[in-house]
């Protein structure tokens, strides 16, 4: 067989060539069926009654009038949902409907199921809930200062959800020995995903009485698990089908209360039940970007080389755990991946507040500290009189090495990324030399290609793919991977086609269905291309062996001489001797019986063995550099991004059309966060229960970039294949977002000399900076204080170059050190 396996360079027959995505036709004809497009016979409709209070005890729920209303079939309350659930094993803190307490405006209290959506809505309006308001907590500062009442009775005490403190080497000593120490405060505002598809779900009993849930979810496997838990049903009686997501960006990765409610309603009514959230409800579901306050202290040598970094982060977690235990660690875990950091201390604190819960949004926890470090590096470069590009080029983390916190790095194409964007933007000729009001800013980043550990501890594969080959020549790939628009179906088809020498369009796909497809953990953490892709390669290679065996016998040559290409199987030394792909399948089926193969993938073991090391490890890391050119109007403070140059080390491009779309979409979303997007709340007066309501829960008022704000983007792909990636490929869906916000901030500084150490960089902030500048102060806008946090004792781990072996000082060997991706994260030093 031809050895065109992993790591090969250059385009393959399918891989690397621009191609219409396999689901492209469905999407442009409107035939893609999203969850809300499903209409089943006798289907009922569900509406939720949501709390108008941010924090209150539920005294009584009167459902009598609603039950008597026209068309109503069922009314549910918290009494019907005694079992808590949550995405992470360490924070099972949600009930599908609140039982005794509401914790944020929008928390669901009751559900009405009726014959029509209008009847459900009207009956929902008849439900009377008596609340006893409680003290509300609006911010991490208030959470730290207000230990009582507690929003949850678990966590680190008071209203602190999670604390972490890691020390990789003696950072204080290194800072004392540093030539210069730079200390800054930064704030990264929260933002929300806004998938244009509002969450929707349909539940129904199948003809055999089993429960089926169709839902716009990124994580059907986790929804499957949590449904089984919350409904107290055996998982094998439940089928979850992830319908194609109309955008997700992390916002559909939690198991949601509305999914559990309609599932229960279908079980109780015996009829299909649908729910579709309104746009306002989607804003209150949230699970988006955590607002994070950061203090970053970096010690450098005279030439700007980092000797130590000390980072503290304070997260506003909102009302529930969600992914927060992991999010907190992600605000520090990847800080060592971009540049070499010899010593590193990281402290994180996630607080509960009475606002919709935060969770994972594209980049999960990483854009915030990336912003801090990349803006601070710009300041260091200015202070030392160095070119910011050179400052970065001189200290890129070495490829194939361990970081201070024991992350295993693979291929690193960051140098070329930087060089390409520097050349493309004429950075060296123009930065610092443009007229007042126009500037260039540069920033870099790195991101993981799939979380190295699953959400719940287990040793099973993270991704499985099955292939079925039949005598028609058709190949069907079954995978739990979920199509959220990113192109996972196309990746699977392309990889299978490449290995078997057929076209991507020859591969049929069955995905995201817990009955039909092997488990894939979900479309999160940029994991699908690498993990499902590797599983697909394994399954396809196994099928290829079977076909080759049968074809070789027929052709009278050894299987090693066979090539698979152009829908043929043939002798490489005599290409005319061969057969069509379908004939090879027939021969194989004749010789071996029904042809089916499986492939599975589990990321390599992490070198980090300390508790809390479950967040950060990955099979590979992508790298990105961006230069942003911005115009700043000194009169209005308005920032216009004129052009973006972005270089992304993708390992290997699988489909250039889709890869470019991921980069441009990331740039777009990054610009939204940099300049305008804010998921913010205001406290109503006490007579209105001091409610913390979303300031702008509508698409008109929540500002996001439109087609008119989108600048030209020049994308460079750097193909530095990683041995762990399928055909060398790394992620592209999240990493390119990370450098955008800091590059904008650095461009604003270059344009008008104002440091805005927070996002979004609003015209008001820029004007305030310009006024300060005019008054002779340091022109800097941003947070002024970091509140006192009672940090636990550090968990001390010696870096690899100081003799460390990945365990913490004093740690006993054993299972604990494996630090599961969910279960054991964020356990602090004081407890070990």
Partner 1 sequence: MRPAHNRLTVNGELREVLFDATKTLLEVLREDLRLTGTKHGCELGECGTCAVLMEGRPVLSCLVLGVECDGADVTTVEGLAEGPALHPLQEAFADRGAAQCGYCTPGILLTAKALLDRNPHPTRGEIAEALSGNLCRCTGYLQIFEAVEEAARTERTDPPTQGRTYRPADAQARPRAGDAR
- Give Dmax over CA atoms of the chain in angstroms: 88
Name the one residue in this structure whose structure tokens are 């990370």.
738
Our separate counts of H helices and E strands in the chain read 19, 32
Give the HSE-up count for residue 789: Cα atoms under 13 Å, Cβ half-sphere. 28
**Closest to partner 1 by CB, 27 or 790:** 27
CA angle at residue 406 from 402 to 409, to 5 degrees?
40
Residue-wise over 647-679: b if at least 16 C-beta within 10 A, else e?
bbbbbbbbbbebbbbbbbbbbbbbbbbbbbbbb
**Binding flags for partner 1, 100-139, as an x/- string (CB under 8 A):** ----------------x-x---------------------
Residues 266-305 contacting partner 1, CB under 8 A: 278-279
Least separation in angstroms between residue 280's CB and partner 1 is 9
Nearer to partner 1, 293 or 658 (CB): 658
Nearer residue to partner 1 within complex by CB, 342 or 661? 661
Instruction: Indicate which single residue of 60, 429, 708, 785 sits in contact with partner 1 (rule: CB under 8 A).
Output: 708
716 makes contact with partner 1 (CB under 8 A): no
Residues in Cβ contact with 496 at an 8 Å cutoff, skipping those fewer than 6 apart? 467, 475, 477, 502, 507, 536, 539, 540
The only residue of 7, 8, 34, 434 in contact with partner 1, by rule CB under 8 A: 34
Looking at the Cβ atoms of 397 and 658, the one nearer to partner 1 is 658
CA 437 to chain centre: 35
Per DSSP, helices labelled H in 252-386 are 257-269, 279-285, 324-333, 367-384
Cβ at position 497, least distance to partner 1 in Å: 18
Q: Which stretch binds partner 1 (CB under 8 A): 322-330, 580-588, 663-671, 744-752?
A: 663-671
The nearest distance, CB 528 to partner 1, in angstroms, is 14
Nearest approach in angstroms of CB 300 to partner 1 is: 35
Residues 16, 36, 174, 349: which binds partner 1 (CB under 8 A)?
Answer: 36
Of the residues 1, 21, 81, 330, which one makes contact with partner 1 according to CB under 8 A: 21
Angle (CA) 767-768-774 rounded to 5° is 85
What binding mask, one character per residue, do residues 190-209 give for partner 1 by CB under 8 A, x or -? Answer: ---xxxxxx-----------
The reply on whether position 712 binds partner 1 by CB under 8 A is yes
- DSSP letter assigned to residue 639: E
Should residue 526 be labelled a site residue for partner 1 when binding is judged by CB under 8 A? no
Q: For residue 472, how many C-alpha atoms fall within 13 Å in the half-sphere facing its CB? A: 7
- Residues 25, 42, 176, 400: which binds partner 1 (CB under 8 A)? 25
What x-and-dash track marks residues 467-506 binding partner 1 by CB under 8 A? -----------------xxxx-------------------
Choose between 67 and 660: whose C-beta lies nearer to partner 1: 660
Cα torsion angle, 511, 515, 521, 522, sign: positive
Q: Report which of 659, 746, 669, 806 is spatially closest to residue 441, judged by C-alpha positions.
A: 746
The residue (of 608 and 646) whose beta carbon lies closer to partner 1 is 646
Binding mask 380-419 for partner 1 (x = CB under 8 A): ----------------------------------------
How far apart CA 136 and CA 148 sit, in angstroms, is: 10
Which residue, 189 or 197, is less far from partner 1 as judged by CB?
197
Q: Which stretch binds partner 1 (CB under 8 A): 18-26, 440-448, 472-480, 587-595?
A: 18-26
Q: Is 657 in the site for partner 1 (CB under 8 A)?
A: yes
DSSP, res 776: T
At closest approach, how far in Å is the CB of 433 from partner 1? 28
Best CA proximity match to 760, nearest among 664, 671, 628: 671
Q: Do residues 253 and 218 touch, judged by C-beta distance below 8 A?
A: yes
Which one, 37 or 566, has the nearer CB to partner 1?
A: 37
Cβ–Cβ < 8 Å for 726, 495 = yes
Nearest distance, CB of residue 702 and partner 1, angstroms: 9
In the bound state with partner 1, the residue whose beta carbon lies nearer, of 317 and 760, is: 760
Distances (CA, A) of 230 to 44, 90, 101, 234: 22, 15, 18, 11
Contact range with partner 1 by CB under 8 A, out of 71-79, 337-345, 521-529, 653-661 = 653-661
Residue 456 in the binding site for partner 1 (CB under 8 A)? no
CB nearer to partner 1: pick between 233 and 710: 710
- Contact call for residue 665 and partner 1 (CB under 8 A): yes
Cα–Cα distance between 735 and 739 in angstroms, integer? 8
Q: How far apart are CA 768 and CA 764, in angstroms?
A: 6
**Number of other residues whose CB lies within 10 A of the CB of residue 806:** 18
User: Cβ contacts of residue 32 below 8 Å, gap of 6+?
Assistant: 23, 26, 244
Under the criterion CB under 8 A, does residue 40 sit at the interface with partner 1?
no
Distances (CA, A) of 757 to 632, 694, 772, 798: 16, 24, 14, 32
Residue 700 within binding range of partner 1, rule CB under 8 A: yes
* CB 700 to partner 1: min, Å: 4
What are the φ and ψ backbone dihedral angles of 653, each rounded to 5 degrees?
Answer: -80, 125
* Element (DSSP H or E) covering residue 545: helix 528-555
Among 27, 42, 508, 831, binds partner 1 (CB under 8 A): 27
- For the bound state, the minimum distance from the C-beta of residue 205 to partner 1, rounded and expressed in Å, comes to 23
Q: State in angstroms the smallest separation of the CB of 243 from partner 1.
A: 11
| DSSP for residue 728 | G
Nearer to partner 1, 36 or 506 (CB): 36
Of 37, 387, 633, 771, the one binding partner 1 by CB under 8 A: 37
Which stretch in 247-255, 366-374, 470-478, 556-564 sits in contact with partner 1 by CB under 8 A? 247-255
Site size toward partner 1 (CB under 8 A) is: 57
DSSP 616: S
- 244 in contact with partner 1 (CB under 8 A): yes
* Chain residues that interact with partner 1, rule: CB under 8 A: 20-21, 23-34, 36-37, 39, 116, 118, 193-198, 244-249, 278-279, 484-487, 657-658, 660-661, 664-669, 698-700, 704, 706-708, 710, 712-713
């Amino acid at each position: 067989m031809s050895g065109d396996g992993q790591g090969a360079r250059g385009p393959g027959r399918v891989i690397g060539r621009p191609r219409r995505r396999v689901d492209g036709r469905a999407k442009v004809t409107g035939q893609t069926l999203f969850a809300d497009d499903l209409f089943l016979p006798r289907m009922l409709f569900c509406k939720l009654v949501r709390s108008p209070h941010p924090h209150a005890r539920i005294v009584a729920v009167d459902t009598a009038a609603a039950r008597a209303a026209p068309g109503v079939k069922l009314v549910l309350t918290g009494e019907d949902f005694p079992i808590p659930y949550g995405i992470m094993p360490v924070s099972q803190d949600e009930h599908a409907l609140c039982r005794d307490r509401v914790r944020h405006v929008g928390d669901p209290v009751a559900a009405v199921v009726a014959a029509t959506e209008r009847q459900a809505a009207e009956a929902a309006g008849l439900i009377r809930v008596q609340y006893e308001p409680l003290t509300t907590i609006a911010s991490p500062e208030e959470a730290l200062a207000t230990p009582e009442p507690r929003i949850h009775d678990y966590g680190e005490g008071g209203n602190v959800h999670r604390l972490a403190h890691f020390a990789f080497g003696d950072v204080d000593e290194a800072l004392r020995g540093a030539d210069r120490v730079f200390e800054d405060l930064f704030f990264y505002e929260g933002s929300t995903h806004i998938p244009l598809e509002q969450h929707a779900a349909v539940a129904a009993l199948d003809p055999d009485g089993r429960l089926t849930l169709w839902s716009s979810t990124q994580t059907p496997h986790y929804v499957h698990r949590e449904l089984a838990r919350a409904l107290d049903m055996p998982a094998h009686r439940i089928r979850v089908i992830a319908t194609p997501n109309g955008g997700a960006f992390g916002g559909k990765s939690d198991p949601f209360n509305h999914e559990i409610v309609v599932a229960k309603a279908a079980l109780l009514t015996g009829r299909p039940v649908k729910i579709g959230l309104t746009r306002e409800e989607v804003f209150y579901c949230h699970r988006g970007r955590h607002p994070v306050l950061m203090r970053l202290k970096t010690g450098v040598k005279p030439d700007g080389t980092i000797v130590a970094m000390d980072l503290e982060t304070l997260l506003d977690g909102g009302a529930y755990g969600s992914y927060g235990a992991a999010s907190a660690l992600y605000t520090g875990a990847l800080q060592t991946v971009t540049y070499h950091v010899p010593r590193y201390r990281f402290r994180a604190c996630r607080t509960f507040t009475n606002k919709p819960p935060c969770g994972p949004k594209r980049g999960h926890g990483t854009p915030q500290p990336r912003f801090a470090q990349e803006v601070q590096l710009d300041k260091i470069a200015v202070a030392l009189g160095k070119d910011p590009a050179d400052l970065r080029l001189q200290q890129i983390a070495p490829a194939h090495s361990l970081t201070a916190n024991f992350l295993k790095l693979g291929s690193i194409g960051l140098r070329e990324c930087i060089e390409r964007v520097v050349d493309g933007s004429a950075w060296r000729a123009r930065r610092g030399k443009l007229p007042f009001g126009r500037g260039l800013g540069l920033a870099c980043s790195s991101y993981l290609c799939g979380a190295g550990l699953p959400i719940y501890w287990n040793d099973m594969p993270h991704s499985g793919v099955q292939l079925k080959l039949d005598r028609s020549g058709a190949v069907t790939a079954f995978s739990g991977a979920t199509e959220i628009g990113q192109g996972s179906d196309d990746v699977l088809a392309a990889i299978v086609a490449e290995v078997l020498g057929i076209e991507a369009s020859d591969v049929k796909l069955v995905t995201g269905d817990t009955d039909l497809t092997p488990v894939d953990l979900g479309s999160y953490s940029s994991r699908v291309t690498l993990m499902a892709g590797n599983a697909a390669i394994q399954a396809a290679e196994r099928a290829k062996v079977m076909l080759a065996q049968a074809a070789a016998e027929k052709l009278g040559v050894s299987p090693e001489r066979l090539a698979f290409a152009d829908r043929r199987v043939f002798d490489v030394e005599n290409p005319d001797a061969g057969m069509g792909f379908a004939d090879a399948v027939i021969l194989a089926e004749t010789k071996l019986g029904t042809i089916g193969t499986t492939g599975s993938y589990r990321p390599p073991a992490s070198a980090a063995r300390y508790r809390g090391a479950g967040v950060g490890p990955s099979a590979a890391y992508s790298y990105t550099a961006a230069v942003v050119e911005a115009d700043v109007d000194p009169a209005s403070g308005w920032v216009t991004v004129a052009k973006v140059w972005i270089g992304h080390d993708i390992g290997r491009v699988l489909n250039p059309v889709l890869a470019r779309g991921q980069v441009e979409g990331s740039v777009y979303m990054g610009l939204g966060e940099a300049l305008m997007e804010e998921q913010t709340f205001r406290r109503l007066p006490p007579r209105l229960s001091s409610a913390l309501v979303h300031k702008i829960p509508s698409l008109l008022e929540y500002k996001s970039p439109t087609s008119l704000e989108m600048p030209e983007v020049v994308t460079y792909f750097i193909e530095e294949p990683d041995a762990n990636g399928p055909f060398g490929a790394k992620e592209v869906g999240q990493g390119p977002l990370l450098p955008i916000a800091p590059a904008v901030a650095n461009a604003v500084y270059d344009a008008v000399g104002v440091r805005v150490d927070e996002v979004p960089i609003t015209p008001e902030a820029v004007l305030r900076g310009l006024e300060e500048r005019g008054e002779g102060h340091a022109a800097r806008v941003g947070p002024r204080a970091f509140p006192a946090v009672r940090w636990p004792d550090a968990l001390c781990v010696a870096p690899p170059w100081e003799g460390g072996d990945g365990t913490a000082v004093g740690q006993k060997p054993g299972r604990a050190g494996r630090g599961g991706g969910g279960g054991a994260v964020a356990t602090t030093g004081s407890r070990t």
